[in-house]
């Protein structure tokens, strides 16, 4: 296992807080940068994210060239509020409407590639209560300053002491530690160095994102890492400590569903890579039980496991960006 990656490619947000330098380097390299916020009923937090990013990274420091909200059909005021604060707002179904429609975070991220113009795209979740512009500039730092880095992932709250005698155990939430980390340890030990592979905040070059498929649901974070690792190797990936992130706490049942989707994505990937041979097709239903008046009733969560192909394979995308396969 290549263990030097953790030391070499792990950063702290404070290493990138010289925003003048980032802007200067961005301009020198003639880069355009897009921020995308995927949403579904985020009326409580969306305005704050837009305001802070616009103020700090568009008005005061011209680091971002556009701020786009891709919504999965919120039933609250998410879209109205986002528009009121000046974001470019799209409903996912309006983008590439001739394609079959799906609903999910991965779908929003994939469609964002079609509507944004940036050479670099930053994705951050729209439910962050303690949002701060470091969430964006720190993800951009390694991409702008280091030519070899093409994809940057966030991690939070758990400082790690590398190279010192005292190393604190670190990692992500429950799904990361109970599902992803054991799987990575079994199949891709190198990837265990990515401390929080499921974090919803990451950024990368368009050329990377357009060349990989996007599962439409929860599995998107896992698949992005596996596909980038497979195509370009670990050295194009970096991770940045963004300090603390306050977000909604999910209950165990919801996490169970998330784990199910992630396992499904993972197994499909290792099958494709020829690492395992599964004789039968996997079932696509997660079954949980509720006790209702002394009876156990199954609660069935069905996952179709749809996946969007690399967007470069979509002719409308190639036409718009004047690209070829």
Partner 1 sequence: MDSYLDNLPAFVDTIKSIKETIITNIVLIGQVPSPTFKEKRRTSIFMERLAEFNVDECTTDGYRNPIGIIKGTSKTKPPIFVVAHLDTIWGTEIDHYYTIKENSITGAGIMDNSIGVGVLVSLPDIFRKLNLSFESDIVLAGVIQSLGKGNLRGIRHLLKTWATPIRGAVCIESNELGRLNYYADGMTRCEIDCNISAINGWEHKFKPNAILILNEVINQILKLRLPQKPRSRVIIGKMSGGFKHGMIANDARLGFEIQSNSDKMVKSIFNNIKDIVEGISHEYEVELKLKTLSNIRAARIKFNHPLVKSTVDVMKKLGLTPVSEPSESELSIFLSRKIPAVTLGITRGENYQQTNAMVEIEPMFKGIAQIIGVIMAIDSGVCDEE
Distant-in-sequence, close-in-space partners of 238: CB < 8 Å, separation ≥ 6: 9, 10, 11, 142, 146, 149, 151, 152, 153
Residue with Cβ nearer partner 1 (45 or 176)? 45
- Are 165 and 40 a contacting pair, CB within 8 Å? no
CB of 287 to partner 1, least distance (A): 36
Strands 10-12 and 295-302: unpaired
CB of 54 to partner 1, least distance (A): 5
How many whole angstroms separate alpha carbon 214 and alpha carbon 219? 8
Residue with Cβ nearer partner 1 (27 or 59)? 59
Q: For binding to partner 1 (CB under 8 A), which residues are involved?
A: 43-45, 47-48, 51-52, 54-56, 59-60, 77, 80-81, 84-86, 129-130, 132, 246
CB of 173 to partner 1, least distance (A): 19
Residue with Cβ nearer partner 1 (33 or 113)? 33
CB of 118 to partner 1, least distance (A): 20
**What b-and-e string marks burial along 218-249, b requiring 16 or more CB atoms within 10 Å of the CB?**
bbbbbbbbbbbbeebebebbbbbbbbebeeee
Residue with Cβ nearer partner 1 (3 or 55)? 55
Residue with Cβ nearer partner 1 (51 or 211)? 51
Residue with Cβ nearer partner 1 (132 or 153)? 132
- DSSP letters of 203-269? EEEHHHHTTS-EESSTTHHHHHHHHHHHHH-GGGEEEEE------PPPPHHHHHHHHHHHHHHHHHH
């Amino acid at each position: 296992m290549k263990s030097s990656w953790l030391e070499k490619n792990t950063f702290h947000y404070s290493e990138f807080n010289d925003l003048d330098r980032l802007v200067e380097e961005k301009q020198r390299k003639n880069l355009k940068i897009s921020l995308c916020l995927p949403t579904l009923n985020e009326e409580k937090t969306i305005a704050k994210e837009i305001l802070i990013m616009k103020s700090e990274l568009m008005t005061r420091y011209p680091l971002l060239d556009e701020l786009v909200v891709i919504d999965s059909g919120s039933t609250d005021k998410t879209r109205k509020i986002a528009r009121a604060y000046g974001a470019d707002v799209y409903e996912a179904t309006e983008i590439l409407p001739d394609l079959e429609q799906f609903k999910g975070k991965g779908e929003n991220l994939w469609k964002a590639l079609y509507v944004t113009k940036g050479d670099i795209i930053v994705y951050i979740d729209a439910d962050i209560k303690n949002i701060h512009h470091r969430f964006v500039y720190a993800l951009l730092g390694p991409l702008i300053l280091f030519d070899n880095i093409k994809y940057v992932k966030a991690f939070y709250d758990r400082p790690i002491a590398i190279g010192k005698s005292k190393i604190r155990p670190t990692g992500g939430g429950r799904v990361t530690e109970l599902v992803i980390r054991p799987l990575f340890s079994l199949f891709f030990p190198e990837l265990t160095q990515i401390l929080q592979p499921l974090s919803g905040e990451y950024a990368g070059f368009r050329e990377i994102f357009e060349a990989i498929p996007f599962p439409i649901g929860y599995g998107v974070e896992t698949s992005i890492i596996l596909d980038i690792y497979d195509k370009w190797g670990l050295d194009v990936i970096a991770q940045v400590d963004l300090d603390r992130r306050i977000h909604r706490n999910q209950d165990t049942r919801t996490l169970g569903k998330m784990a199910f989707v992630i396992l499904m994505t993972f197994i499909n990937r290792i099958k494709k890579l020829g690492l395992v041979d599964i004789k039968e097709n996997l079932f696509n239903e997660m079954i949980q039980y509720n006790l209702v008046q002394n009876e156990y009733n199954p609660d069935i969560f069905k996952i179709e496991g749809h996946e969007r192909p690399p967007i470069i394979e979509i002719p409308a995308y190639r036409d718009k960006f004047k690209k070829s396969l």
